[in-house]
């Protein structure tokens, strides 16, 4: 089935900030750690926070201890004061945009204005804003409420940040027509505006709309309401399990959007379920082609193929014989190292890629056996070459296993090495470099070309690993995995990837100018431009396009290998001519 994902969906800035504060507090703050009320309106995210030891506190006790986090919706100022007086260390997780509305309510109420808040009187955010407005606060949720307004002279109109923009405009105009002279502040969050605009755009091109989010989330329910007003069939679900697949099957094209408190992995699972749904409008060949590609990627066979192809390209580029062990060892070792890491780390994989986690769990014995045999073959083949090669591969194999195991780790999660920010990508890149460059240079004589090719291999492998970590950012954050994107944030990670891209270009140029790389290696600049294309795709934040983006990242070593092969082919044609 064809699925179109809204360009703006999932965690907004305020929700993301609150969740990150809660995750950080679960590891660093004084225990126990609570949130005052549910941190956000999403049951799946709240259950994960409970697993980290962060529980919701419904009432403020007279005496308390530990840390309490104020939820993204905010609270009345008197509640914040009571929490501190009870003895809690308070972390304010209020969304900055909600804080702005609170500040406006406090300012104008102190200046003698009535503060009219357009919103749901039972919503936590509105209750918090009312606390700052005091006795001068009035909540208006519909046109009927206007009949009970007191005579207004000095007044200001504010909005709940998740309110429907068109409704706010109509209601404000009606109030101004009855009581001229009021001030109006459109305090609807930009994220809310963008999501509502995007769902209207989806309604124009799709046959039905699936809205993913908590049943108690105001902005999620509003997205569903807007889609219905546009005349679309709407399916509001919290998880993929709630999809009515029989009803959805009849549509040609389905749009998917999500509330501001919906985690990425929940959205991705819904999209994956819809894409796998057989549709009478989709080609059987296209559906099976996607299934085969997914199998190759999820089983790490695509990665093994890329490693073998890269090895062949490097051997040919350096005029070395196609020695079978040097082609098989990179494929087998990288397959085993990546697979064992996935099998051990199923906890975070269930969030980042639940379908892959199910696939590996279902075939765990098969993949465990395949991993064992791959390591055994690596050691056997390396022993057939030289004792030094056997020692190197033995060290690498043992290191890759120890890295994956949570020996001496904090709690039951990860090893101390995995706690080092960026360590995963660094070790992956070193592994690729060791089997593709160091091992052939050890078996045969070292040549200056290996230095430049080694740098290119390291950059490509590191970039590939970091790109994939960006896709797993949210799930890794929830389980406390300190990858580079979790540690420095997605925007800074993209800057690192841009530096790597420039570094790749300089490595190619430097090798060519120095003469260590043959001039036919200029084909590598195609890999340089492909890297830039991948970077641009990731900058678009294509939520729901995980498989597409993963294929692009997995293509980095393949495209680089093909560029090397193209250069070698040209070199041999010139030599024959």
Helices (H), 276-417: 284-298, 301-317, 324-344, 346-352, 354-362, 364-385, 387-404
Let me know: does 472 contact 409? Beta carbons within 8 Å: no
Decide: helix, strand or coil at residue 139.
Answer: strand
Three-class DSSP labels, 498-530? HHHHHHHHHHHHHHHHHCCCCHHHHHHHHHHHH
Q: CA–CA distance from 127 to each of 63, 78, 98, 110, 123 (Å)?
A: 24, 12, 12, 18, 6
Q: Which of 276, 237, 275 is nearest to 258 (CA)?
A: 237
Longest dimension (CA), the chain: 95
Residue 552: closest CA among 527, 569, 570, 576: 527
Catalytic site residue from 50, 125, 238, 550: 125
- Count the helix, strand and coil residues of the chain and give each as a percent rounded to the nearest 5: 65, 10, 25
List, in order, residues 6 or more apart from 534 with CB less than 8 Å away.
467, 552, 553, 555, 556
**Residue 112: exposed, middle, or buried by beta-carbon count in 10 A (0-12, 13-18, 19+)?**
exposed
Task: Please report which residue ranges of 179-300 form alpha helices under DSSP H.
Answer: 190-205, 218-229, 245-248, 264-275, 284-298
Nearest alpha carbon to residue 269 among 109, 474, 99: 474
Nearest to 513 by CA among 568, 318, 505: 505
CB 262 within 8 A of CB 233: no
Instruction: Report the Cα–Cα distance between both ends of the chain, in Å, rounded.
Output: 51
Three-state SS at 91? strand
Q: Residue 125 catalytic?
A: yes
> What b/e readout covers 211-232, taking b as 16+ CB neighbours within 10 angstroms?
bbbbeebbbbbbbbbbbeeeeb
Dist. CA 400–CA 432, nearest whole Å: 12
Q: Dihedrals φ, ψ of 68, to 5°?
A: -130, 135
CA distance linking residue 200 with residue 206, whole number of Å? 10
Decide if 191 contacts 221 (C-beta within 8 A).
Answer: no
| Residues assigned a catalytic role | 125
């Amino acid at each position: 089935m064809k699925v179109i994902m809204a360009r703006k969906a999932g965690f907004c800035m305020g929700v993301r900030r609150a969740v990150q504060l809660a995750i950080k507090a679960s590891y660093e703050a004084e225990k126990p750690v609570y949130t005052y009320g549910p941190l956000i309106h999403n049951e799946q995210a709240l259950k994960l926070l409970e697993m980290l030891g962060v529980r919701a506190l419904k009432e403020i006790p007279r005496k308390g201890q530990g840390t309490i986090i104020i939820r993204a919706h905010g609270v009345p100022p008197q509640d914040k004061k009571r929490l501190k007086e009870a003895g809690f260390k308070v972390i304010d997780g209020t969304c900055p945009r909600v804080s702005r509305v609170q500040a406006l309510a406090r300012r104008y109420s102190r200046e003698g204005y009535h503060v009219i808040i357009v919103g749901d009187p039972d919503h936590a955010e509105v209750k918090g804003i009312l606390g700052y407005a005091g006795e001068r606060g009035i909540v208006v949720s519909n046109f009927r409420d206007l009949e009970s307004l007191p005579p207004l002279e000095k007044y200001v109109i504010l909005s709940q940040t998740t309110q429907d923009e068109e409704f706010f405009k109509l209601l404000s105009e009606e109030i101004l027509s009855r009581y001229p002279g009021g001030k109006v502040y459109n305090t609807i969050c930009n994220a809310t505006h963008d999501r509502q605009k995007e769902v209207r755009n989806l309604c124009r091109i799709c046959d039905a709309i699936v809205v993913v989010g908590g049943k108690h989330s105001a902005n999620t329910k509003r997205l569903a309401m807007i889609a219905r007003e546009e005349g679309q069939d709407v399916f509001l679900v919290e998880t993929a399990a709630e999809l009515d697949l029989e009803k959805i099957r009849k549509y040609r094209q389905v749009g998917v959007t999500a509330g501001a408190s919906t985690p990425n992995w929940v959205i991705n699972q819904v999209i994956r379920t819809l894409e796998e749904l057989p549709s009478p409008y989709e080609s059987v060949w296209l559906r099976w082609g996607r299934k085969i590609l997914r199998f190759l990627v999820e089983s790490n066979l695509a990665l093994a193929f890329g490693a073998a192809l890269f090895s062949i390209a490097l051997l040919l580029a350096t005029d070395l014989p196609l020695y079978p062990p040097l082609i098989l060892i990179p494929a087998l070792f990288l397959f085993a190292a990546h697979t064992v890491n996935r099998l051990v780390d199923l906890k975070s994989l269930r969030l980042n890629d639940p379908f892959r986690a199910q696939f590996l769990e279902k075939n765990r014995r098969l993949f465990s056996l395949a991993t064992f045999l791959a390591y055994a073959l690596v050691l056997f083949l390396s022993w057939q070459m030289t004792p030094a090669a056997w020692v190197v591969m033995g060290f690498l194999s043992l290191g890759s296993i120890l890295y994956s195991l949570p020996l001496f780790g904090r709690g039951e999660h990860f090893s101390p090495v995995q706690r080092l920010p960026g360590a995963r990508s660094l070790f992956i890149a070193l592994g690729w470099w060791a089997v593709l460059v160091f091992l052939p240079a050890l078996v045969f004589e070292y040549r200056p070309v290996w230095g430049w090719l080694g740098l290119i291999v390291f950059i490509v492998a590191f970039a590939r690993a970091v790109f994939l970590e960006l896709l797993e950012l949210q799930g890794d954050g929830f389980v406390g995995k300190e990858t580079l994107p979790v540690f420095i944030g997605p925007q800074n990670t993209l800057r690192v990837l841009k530096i790597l891209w420039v570094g790749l270009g300089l490595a190619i140029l430097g090798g060519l100018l120095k003469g260590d790389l043959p001039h036919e290696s200029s084909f590598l600049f195609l890999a340089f431009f492909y890297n830039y294309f991948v970077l641009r795709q990731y900058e678009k934040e294509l939520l729901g396009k995980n498989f597409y983006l993963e294929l692009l990242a997995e293509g980095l070593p393949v495209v680089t290998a093909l560029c090397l092969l193209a250069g070698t082919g040209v070199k041999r044609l010139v030599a024959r001519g």
